[in-house]
Amino acid sequence: MEKEKTFEENLQELQDVVNNLEQGDIPLEKALSEFQKGIQLSSQLQDTLKNAEKTLTKVMKDNGEESDLDLETDETNE
């Protein structure tokens, strides 16, 4: 079973795909395959970032409960 790749590994793979496509000297079938792979990697990276954002916008209360971070309140208290 293949281990799940890290965000950084997926990002590097996407950069490799983009570099391959930018060279322009690959057969059309390979280019289409690389493009589809790039779209899939981009989607996975966006999902990872969305999940990270959700996690970072939560704060722990003293009793261990999570609550949403209210950025507007924090900014007005500065």
User: Domains in the chain, start-ordered, CATH in brackets?
Assistant: 5-66 (1.10.287)
How much is the pTM? 0.70
Is the pLDDT at 65 greater than 80? The verdict is no
What's residue 74's pLDDT? 46
Phi (first) and psi of residue 21, to 5 degrees: -70, -35
- What's the rounded Cα separation, in Å, for the pair 67 and 60? 6
Over residues 10-48, the pLDDT tens digits come to: 999 999 999 999 998 999 999 999 999 999 999 999 999
DSSP 25: -
